[in-house]
Amino acid sequence: ASPHTLGLILTYHVNYGLSARRTAAIMQDVHGVAISHQTILNYENSVALMLKPYVDYYPYELSDQFCGDETYIRVGGRWHYLFFFFDAVKKIILSYPVSPNRDTATAVRAIDEVLVKMKEIPEDLTFVVDGNPIYLLAQHFFAQHDISFDVKQVIGLTNEDPVSTEYRPLKQIIERLNRTFKGNYRSTHGFGSEQGSVSFVTLFVAYFNFLRPHAALEGKVPVVNPE
């Protein structure tokens, strides 16, 4: 396919969250391009494989406000967990591992993917998360390796403690990110394999960081890259 055709396919499928079958139908009905839904999924996997290093190792300019949360996705007929860690000011997704388990190992991996994007770790580094104890265990793991940061846990739906009162706005920001992702993910009805889930999430992150305008950023995309 030409770059223009591939761009159309990915725009419909990723940016607008249409299923592969609906994308194939639009390509045929609107653009006169006959293509199967399986070919679209193949394109998705191939482009994600090429884009993942770019998304993961881009030299992002970061703020000092980070939050994390998990959401559910279905992979191979089972619920998996997608861990998002997010720069709440710059609106940049920094970490997005998918795991069959909501465990400490995945929390460590998710936080590590944020830390490696920093030129140096600030002394007052703080992550805002929910009340899941896996994040405190991850904090202890990094402390054993001389990497220190604070964890602020926002617990429940109401502000019953000072920490929840102060940091709930950051938690609400990443909950909106989860809703945005679910809006794009819903049409997939889940993924047949872990590779498919990672490919879709990778492309969503690329779209969110580099192509999606944000009202909070005055209509600009989070990462402005003229190229």
Mean pLDDT, consecutive 10-residue stretches, the chain (227 aa), reads 93 92 96 95 94 94 89 89 92 94 94 92 88 93 93 74 71 82 79 85 95 91 89
The verdict on residue 191 lying in a domain is yes
Contact status, residue 20 vs residue 13, Cβ threshold 8 Å: yes
Claim: this prediction has a pTM higher than 0.75? yes
The verdict on residue 40 lying in a domain is yes
- The pLDDT value recorded for residue 156 is 62
Phi, psi of 46, deg, nearest 5:
-65, -45
Nearest in space to 170 (alpha carbons), one of 22, 67, 75: 67
- The pLDDT value recorded for residue 164 is 67
- The pLDDT value recorded for residue 196 is 84
- Nearest-angstrom CA–CA distance, 71 and 174: 10
Residue 152's beta-bridge partner residues? 128
For residues 53 and 70, membership in a common domain is answered with: no
- The pLDDT value recorded for residue 165 is 66
The verdict on residue 224 lying in a domain is no
> What is the number of structural domains in the chain?
2
For residues 189 and 141, membership in a common domain is answered with: yes
* Domain enclosing residue 41, as ranges: 3-57
The verdict on residue 223 lying in a domain is no
- The pLDDT value recorded for residue 189 is 74
- Pairing mode of beta strands 126-129, 66-75: parallel
For residues 52 and 85, membership in a common domain is answered with: no
